[in-house]
Amino acid sequence: MKKSVLIALLSTALSLPGFSQARYDTAAPAATNVYHKALTEFCTYVQQYFPTVKEIWLEENLLLRLPASTTINGLTLVCVSPEALQQKLKHRPKRVYLTRVVPLQVEGNEFVIKVIPFAVQKTGRQLQLINSGALSTYFQYDCGVHKFVFMGSKGGFSTLQ
């Protein structure tokens, strides 16, 4: 009897929010979506190292499941199509920044999503993408609950305007 009560108490305590990690999915809504988590990590990095940046242009990507414009951690993220980027470059300085979210990949025993800010420069009729680094967000897959568990982020980049 005492053992069953103890087991019941322990299982209840371990299921409380303070004892569990957030679980993520690729098709889940924003709060538990792996791509949203990677963008949240990216925005946190931008706020820490580039506090004057208020808007991030994201390369249009069907994986993100974001509206045309959204806010994460106080930064406005705007999804930009290649055509819209061409139009924006007509009215802006010759260099702007466009952020690409690379689809989920496997590295060793972890899954990783890379968020890469590119400096975009118009040269004649072509666009040049200049990479200055990336922020990688790592997950492991929990087979018990069929979800991804956030493990951390690393990397960085040197310029962003």
Please report whether residue 2 resides in a domain: no
> CA-CA distance, 44 to 161, in Å (whole number)?
15
Report field, pTM of the whole predicted structure over 0.75:
yes
Please report whether residue 104 resides in a domain: yes
Please report whether residue 13 resides in a domain: no
Q: Containing domain of residue 99, as a range? A: 22-157
Predicted pLDDT of residue 64: 73
Please report whether residue 9 resides in a domain: no
Per-residue pLDDT of 18-61, as tens digits, reads 334 677 767 666 677 898 899 999 999 999 999 999 999 999 88
Predicted pLDDT of residue 89: 81
Please report whether residue 10 resides in a domain: no
Predicted pLDDT of residue 93: 67
pLDDT for 117 beyond 70: yes
Please report whether residue 8 resides in a domain: no
Please report whether residue 5 resides in a domain: no
Q: Are 13 and 19 in contact (CB under 8 A)?
A: yes
Q: For strand 110-123 and strand 133-142, is the pairing parallel, antiparallel, or unpaired? A: antiparallel
Residue 34 has phi, psi (to 5 degrees) of -60, -35
Number of domains in the chain: 1
Q: Are 118 and 103 in contact (CB under 8 A)?
A: no
Please report whether residue 48 resides in a domain: yes
Residue 67 has phi, psi (to 5 degrees) of -65, 170
